[in-house]
């Protein structure tokens, strides 16, 4: 089995105490890689390397053009190693290989986009009547700790790392313990691309009482960017507040997907399938609450059920597989299946799906699952399942569906399907969500703000929103006339 160490100060190293952990492929349920298992000392080493690289190394001082060239070189190397990177995520968490390849392409784009964006973005100048002018200078913030989840291991890590680096910061990245491999390959490639030592460090290990908590408590850290569960986000925000460190939190979701009577049904069914069964629903943006206007309800459900049952289920390494026969881990499988017990359904019924009952019944998979007739207070409607389980509910009026969609502690995203322009504008304006997709899903412009309201997060990233977080904006006021 290949070994993956921490990457600290430009070197791939073992843990101080020599500890390792296996990375388990959830489809085979066998370990497929051995990974360094870090602790507090390894976290401290990584922060010290990033601190030194920031305080006295070339990276924050070399200017945008040179950083841009190095970031593009890394993107080139990622493209050369795209198969290896994609396969790592597929082994680590069971994502279908076609989707993992898509994630790699998007990760490459994260680097290219932010490398160019940081160089091209202008700052503000304020001519003053008093014979002065003021301008904004965006200084790098310092040492950034990035903590990422297991559902898009490479893509969500690079979404943080790329803007942080492009703006001149140094980074310590802690991937989720279940998905350590792709970002280790990334850090190896960064060394090859010519990153100075200590600029991008990767340290492996668990969250609580381990590497994660040690990183968030370290007083030498200047920014913490976190993606993961809402409960973990609250713990991290509390840790950050003790050192007055700004945090960006991208947390859970319970996306509402609203289909009006006048929607293009082919399009709506297509996106309703994608939004909950892509990556087996292990997506913060999943459209896990489907609201169908009464006039199309029955026809939609017939088409939707048929489309869910037609998804090609199988080995995630097979390019023909559309839906992985394994969720990300045994622990996650247990969590998702617990939502299908009678108490969680609250009287709702499973229209299609549920646990596998064939030759895969001893695996960690759940079929594409559609639930109907669940009351609004059922756990399956209220809580984030983070699996391939959607609850379909009929509605009559626009006011009714807006109230249902907004009746959640989350507010990450929502989808609206209608051919009526006024309905689209009115409803998207009324929804409590960081992103609303109209007649589509998952389409991103990296200049646009990304984040959530309520328990879905704090702050926004993307384009100049990432700049706000990863820099210290400084006002410089100059006298022009005496
Ligand atoms: P998680 O919160 O369990 O873990 C995320 C990361 O935090 C991991 O690296 C973990 O090791 C670390 N961690 C855990 N406890 C910690 C602590 N006390 N201190 C420091 N680090 C700690 O989340 P997960 O199960 O990996 O990911 C799934 C969750 O992520 C879902 O809720 C999902 O909605 C959310 N998510 C949100 C977005 C978004 O952009 N809003 C994107 C993807 C996933």
- Cα 370 to chain centroid distance, Å, stands at 24
Question: With the C-alpha atoms ordered 288, 293, 297, 303, is the resulting torsion angle positive or negative?
Answer: negative
pLDDT at 482: 80
Q: Which residues contact 321 (CB under 8 A, 6 or more apart)?
A: 96, 97, 98, 312, 313, 314, 315
Where residue 175 falls (left for φ over 0; alpha for ψ -120 to 50; beta otherwise) is beta
pLDDT higher at 343 or 36: 36
Range 154-174 average pLDDT: 98
User: What is the CA angle 279-404-395, rounded to 5?
Assistant: 95
Rounded CA separation 433/66 (Å): 38
pLDDT at 356: 81
CB atoms within 10 A of CB 137: 12
Per-residue pLDDT band for 110 (boundaries 50, 70, 90) equals very high
- Name which residue sits closest to atom 8 of ligand 1, judged by CA: 176
Which atom, in ligand 1's list, is nearest to the CA of 253? 34
Q: Which phi and psi (to 5°) does residue 210 adopt?
A: -150, -150
**284 catalytic, yes or no?**
yes
- Name which residue sits closest to atom 23 of ligand 1, judged by CA: 228
Query: In this model, does residue 361 exceed pLDDT 90?
Result: no
* 302 CA → ligand 1 middle, Å: 35
CB atoms within 10 A of CB 245: 22
Of the residues 84, 229, 250, 440, only one is catalytic, namely 250
Range 237-266 average pLDDT: 98
Q: Evaluate if pTM is beyond 0.75.
A: yes
Take residue 177 and report the two structure tokens written for it.
């313990």
- Name which residue sits closest to atom 12 of ligand 1, judged by CA: 207
Per-residue pLDDT band for 320 (boundaries 50, 70, 90) equals very high
* 237 CA → ligand 1 middle, Å: 13
**Ligand 1, residues 145, 153, 229: which to mutate, most atoms within 8 A of Cβ?**
229
Q: Which phi and psi (to 5°) does residue 451 adopt?
A: 165, -175
Which atom, in ligand 1's list, is nearest to the CA of 332? 25
Which atom, in ligand 1's list, is nearest to the CA of 252? 34
Q: Are 462 and 215 in contact (CB under 8 A)?
A: no
- Name which residue sits closest to atom 14 of ligand 1, judged by CA: 207
- Name which residue sits closest to atom 13 of ligand 1, judged by CA: 207
Q: In which residue are the tokens 């209608």 written?
A: 418
Per DSSP bridges, beta strands 289-293 and 389-395 are: parallel
* 234 CA → ligand 1 middle, Å: 11
* 382 CA → ligand 1 middle, Å: 19
Rounded CA separation 78/314 (Å): 27
**Ligand 1, residues 26, 39, 149, 466: which to mutate, most atoms within 8 A of Cβ?**
149
Q: In which residue are the tokens 């629903």 written?
A: 281
Q: Is 444 exposed, middle or buried (0-12, 13-18, 19+ CB in 10 A)?
A: middle
Q: Are 350 and 340 in contact (CB under 8 A)?
A: yes
Rounded CA separation 321/323 (Å): 6
Q: Are 180 and 92 in contact (CB under 8 A)?
A: yes
pLDDT at 359: 64
Strands annotated E in 153-262: 170-174, 200-202, 223-227, 247-250, 256-259
Tens of pLDDT, residues 112-154: 999 999 999 999 999 999 999 999 999 999 999 999 999 999 9
Rounded CA separation 325/96 (Å): 9
Query: In this model, does residue 242 exceed pLDDT 80?
Result: yes
* 301 CA → ligand 1 middle, Å: 33
- Name which residue sits closest to atom 30 of ligand 1, judged by CA: 228
Q: 372 pairs with which residues across the strands?
A: 349, 392
* 332 CA → ligand 1 middle, Å: 13
Rounded CA separation 55/26 (Å): 42
Of the residues 177, 284, 384, 461, only one is catalytic, namely 284
Per DSSP bridges, beta strands 313-314 and 20-25 are: unpaired
Q: Are 404 and 256 in contact (CB under 8 A)?
A: yes
* 78 CA → ligand 1 middle, Å: 25
Range 52-59 average pLDDT: 98
- Cα 62 to chain centroid distance, Å, stands at 30
Q: For residue 12, give the H/E element and its range.
A: strand 11-13
Q: For residue 275, give the H/E element and its range.
A: helix 265-277
Q: Which residues contact 217 (CB under 8 A, 6 or more apart)?
A: 239, 242, 243
Residues with CB under 6 Å of ligand 1 are 147-151, 156, 174, 176-177, 206-208, 212-213, 216, 227-229, 232, 235-236, 250-253, 284, 384, 386, 412, 452, 457
């Amino acid at each position: 089995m290949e070994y993956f160490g921490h990457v600290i100060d430009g070197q791939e190293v073992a843990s101080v105490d020599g500890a390792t952990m296996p990375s388990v492929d959830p489809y085979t349920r066998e370990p497929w890689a051995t990974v360094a298992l870090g602790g507090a000392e390894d976290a401290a080493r990584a922060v010290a390397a990033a601190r030194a690289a920031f305080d006295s190394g070339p990276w924050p001082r070399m200017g945008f053009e040179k950083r841009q060239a190095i970031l593009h070189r890394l993107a080139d190397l990622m493209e050369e190693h795209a198969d290896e990177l994609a396969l790592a995520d597929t082994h680590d968490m069971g994502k279908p290989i076609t989707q993992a390849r898509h994630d790699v392409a998007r990760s490459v784009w994260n680097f290219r986009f932010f490398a160019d964006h940081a160089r091209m973005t202008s700052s503000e100048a304020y001519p003053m009547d008093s014979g002065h002018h003021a301008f904004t200078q965006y200084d790098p913030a310092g040492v950034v700790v990035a903590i990422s989840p297991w559902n898009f291991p490479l893509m969500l890590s690079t979404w943080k790392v790329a803007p942080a680096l492009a703006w001149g910061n140094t980074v310590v990245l802690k991937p989720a313990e279940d998905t350590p491999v792709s970002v280790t390959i990334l850090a190896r490639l960064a060394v090859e691309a010519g990153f100075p030592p200590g600029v991008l460090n990767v340290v492996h290990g668990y969250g609580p009482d381990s590497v994660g908590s040690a990183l968030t408590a370290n007083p030498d850290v200047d920014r913490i960017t976190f993606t993961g569960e809402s409960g973990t986000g609250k713990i991290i925000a509390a840790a950050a507040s003790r050192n007055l460190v700004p945090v960006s939190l991208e947390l859970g979701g319970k996306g509402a997907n609203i289909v009006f009577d006048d929607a293009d049904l082919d399009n709506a069914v297509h996106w309703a399938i994608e939004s909950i069964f892509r990556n087996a629903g292990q997506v913060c943006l999943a459209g896990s609450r489907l609201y169908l206007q009464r006039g199309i309800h029955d026809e939609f459900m017939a088409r939707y059920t048929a489309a869910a049952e037609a998804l090609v289920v199988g080995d995630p390494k097979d390019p023909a597989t559309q839906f992985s026969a394994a969720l990300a881990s045994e622990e996650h499988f247990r969590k998702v299946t617990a939502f299908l017990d009678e108490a969680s359904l609250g009287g709702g019924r499973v229209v299609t799906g549920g646990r596998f009952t064939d030759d895969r019944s001893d695996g960690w998979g759940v079929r594409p699952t559609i639930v109907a007739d669940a009351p609004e207070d059922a756990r399956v409607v209220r809580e984030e399942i983070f699996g391939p389980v959607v609850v379909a509910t009929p509605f009559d009026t626009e006011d009714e569906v807006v109230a249902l969609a907004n009746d959640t502690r989350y507010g990450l995203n929502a989808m609206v399907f209608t051919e009526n322009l006024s309905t689209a504008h009115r409803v998207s304006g009324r929804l409590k969500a960081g992103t609303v997709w109209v007649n589509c899903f998952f389409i991103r412009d990296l200049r646009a703000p990304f984040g959530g309201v309520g328990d879905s997060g704090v702050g926004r990233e993307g384009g100049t929103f990432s700049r706000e977080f990863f820099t210290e904006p400084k006002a410089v006021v100059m006298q022009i006339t005496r």
